[in-house]
Structure 1
Amino acid sequence: MDVYSTLTRSKENFVTINKNRVNLFVCGPTVYDDAHIGHGRTYISFDTIKRYLEYKGYAVFYIQNITDIDDKIINRSKESGIPASILARKFEKRYIEDMHKLNVNGVNLFARATDHVDEILDQIQRLIDKGFAYETEDGVYFEIDKFPEFGKLSNRNVEELESHRDIVETTKKNPQDFALWKKRIDVDEPTWPSPWGEGRPGWHIEDTAITEYYFGSQYDAHGGGLDLIFPHHEAEITQMEAVSGKAPMVKFWLHTGFLNVNGEKMSKSLNNFITIRELLEDYEPDTFRFFVLSTHYRSPIDFSKESLHQSEKSLDRIRKYYELLDVEVDENKYECDVLAPHMEEFFNSMDDDFNTPKAIAAIFGLINDTKKELSEFSSEDKRAIKSFLDDASHIFGVSFEAEEVNAGLDDLLNVISEVRSELRASKQYDLSDKIRDELQKLGYEIND
């Protein structure tokens, strides 16, 4: 299996530090608002990658951090009047609910930054002791000039990065030096005690403290969106390799491409910002997963109602074919000559840097070659095909079962909605509200 690493800008044979074991870390959300479809794209991609690695026989330990202390959280707390810790827990809970709805269930550990302050303080102290960090009147900073390889992931030098800074903080030795610890500025800010005064962690240090605690100073794979390469992932490499003296920190750096909406960058100012919750009001979670996987994880993806509708039709085509396989799969292994080349193409595609669109194309190749004659196939051939599709369904995290159950559920929900309307018309609001509240607990939102 070959996997592309951003660090080397090439595909490399996927060789892990410990045979058949993979330590995977993916940057999680900053929990100050609901997750959007760009988050969904990234986390569906890494969920599928984990599923395939496990299918291949690897034991994968997948950690995702939760940034629950940050400027954005503090600012939103001040705007809303909700304490930062309560605000963060609220949106952390909603984020995990959204992931479950998208069948993103592969994360083994959600590691909160605030649960690892001791590890963060320890790593900062060691960086100071080794001469890589220094204290100023407003915080503790990493001294970029002490790490000559800074920029190797983004392939930029320090001079080029200078232009990315809008404000030059005079307390720093170099404008590019980044914060490891921020001293208290506002009395209302959440803070923790430290050898350098009350304050809170910088953004970058939380991830390396977490991964060093669980994985050690070197591990197999680190993922995130393309926008995190600089400065976040660059700073992570700098911190970890400086404190440990070992390189590389991570062998495989995996980054998902940008998600645009109708050809434009998603932005609240452009009124094209879509949360996962808003999306799932109109579309089935499997449809969005299938849409995401129809583009390679490293490529940009353009979201539109038309493209989502096309994914819906494509998925429906697979489901109708799957329904024609009127056999039960058992534990026996069956071979089917017509299946073999398509199955080989599927797994060769997944082995080539998790190329899901080519893998999907292999499924449609199978459908095109067999659908007309499928009724003449033996039961053994049908079982072989169905078993393969079950495996593909599991790897993609998308159900190929016909939506008969969901159709029945829709009918049931319509009946319940009509009953509620009658209850409201007769002013039986307490009973109507109770039905609404119970449905919300089950994940169904009703807006009157």
Structure 2
Amino acid sequence: AYAADDGVYFDVSSFKDYGRLSGQKLDQILHMVRHEMSSSKRNPEDFALWKFSNQDEEGWNYPWGRGRPGWHIEDTAITEEFLGDTYDIHGGGSDLVFPHHEGEIAIMRTLSGKSKLARYWMHAGMLNLAEKKMAKSTGNIIKLRDASDQYGGNVLRLFFLGASYRSEQVFDESSVHAAGRNLEKIQAIYDRLKDKASFGGASVDVPSYRDKVVQAIDRDFDFRSGILVLLDFVTAINTVFHDLSANASDECLNFLKEVDS
């Protein structure tokens, strides 16, 4: 760290792994800096640990001058206080990988001397509305309560599970209604199985479908593939529904209950 005219900065050239999380090198990110360039900064990509402020601006008095903490060090201070200098999972939006999370890593690893800040990083893709990122700051939002009232909670759950958490997802009428139709298919076969009164000798390979669903979810929470397997399961039941045995019907019904639990 070093003092500049307008604050205290972290010299990213002193941290060899800066950019590793986002898969970048220092010479590749010079044009991607978030902050304003200060003439007294050593490198344009250096970020503020402490920004000086005037008396009429928000700030606190500290030995290095009145000011406020920089963006990255705010979160680092909170996580160190409550989670320590290394913890299991750090999450956030995909738009925070660089520079925010890179900054957090640089600060905490420099302080701790350890090789990791978080053992696992999970970054969620953006939710888009009208071809733009849904954001409160721009007013481009639909409140969850309003969406739930309009479409129903279970429909929304299936809609959100229909995309990888790492990918961008577009919130529009057609996509939500498609999730609603899939939910109706699952609910319909559940109701039919529950009310089934006559039986034959046919069966469905429930363990195989269960294994495929579990494998999909274990594969980085791939619920989208799990839902597709579940819809195939519904089709398989419908194909032999009238000939299903009593035991097979119970097994199918119990699996659907398990999925819903």
Q: Does 1:283 align with 2:151?
A: yes
Task: Map 1:15-414; keep pairs closer than 5 Å.
Answer: 133-165=1-33, 167-185=36-54, 187=56, 189=58, 191-266=59-134, 273-326=141-194, 338-374=205-241, 377-394=244-261
Rounded Cα–Cα distance in structure 2 between residues aligned with 1:135 and 1:268: 35
When the two structures are aligned, how many residues end up with a matched partner? 253
State which drifts further: 344-353 or 298-307: 298-307
Q: Deviations over 1:310-367 (max 9, x none)?
A: 111111221222223328xxxxxxxx86211111110111111111111001111111
Q: In structure 2, the residue corresponding to 1:326 is in which secondary structure?
A: helix
Rounded Cα–Cα distance in structure 2 between residues aligned with 1:237 and 1:269: 27
Relative distance call for 1:379 and 1:217 in structure 2 (3 A) is farther
Is the 1:287–1:308 Cα contact (8 Å) retained in structure 2?
yes
Relative distance call for 1:373 and 1:304 in structure 2 (3 A) is same
Rounded Cα–Cα distance in structure 2 between residues aligned with 1:360 and 1:271: 32
Q: How far off its partner does 1:229 sit? A: 0.8
Structure showing greater relative contact order (alpha-carbon pairs closer than 8 Å, 6 or more residues apart): 1
Q: Deviations over 1:10-44 (max 9, x none)?
A: xxxxxxxxxxxxxxxxxxxxxxxxxxxxxxxxxxx
Residue identity matched to 2:15: F
Q: How far off its partner does 1:172 sit? A: 2.6
Relative distance call for 1:293 and 1:147 in structure 2 (3 A) is same
Percent sequence identity is 36
Listed as ranges, the gaps of 5+ residues in structure 2 are: 196-202
Rounded Cα–Cα distance in structure 2 between residues aligned with 1:150 and 1:312: 44
TM value normalised by structure 1: 0.51
Relative distance call for 1:282 and 1:242 in structure 2 (3 A) is same
Q: How far off its partner does 1:262 sit? A: 4.7
Is the 1:134–1:142 Cα contact (8 Å) retained in structure 2?
yes
Rounded Cα–Cα distance in structure 2 between residues aligned with 1:243 and 1:269: 33
Q: How far off its partner does 1:377 sit? A: 4.1
Q: How far off its partner does 1:284 sit? A: 1.6
Residue identity matched to 1:162: L
Q: In structure 2, the residue corresponding to 1:282 is in which secondary structure?
A: helix
Is the 2:87–2:118 Cα contact (8 Å) retained in structure 1?
yes
Residue identity matched to 1:287: V
Is the 1:218–1:247 Cα contact (8 Å) retained in structure 2?
no
Rounded Cα–Cα distance in structure 1 between residues aligned with 2:103 and 2:219: 29
Rounded Cα–Cα distance in structure 1 between residues aligned with 2:190 and 2:87: 40
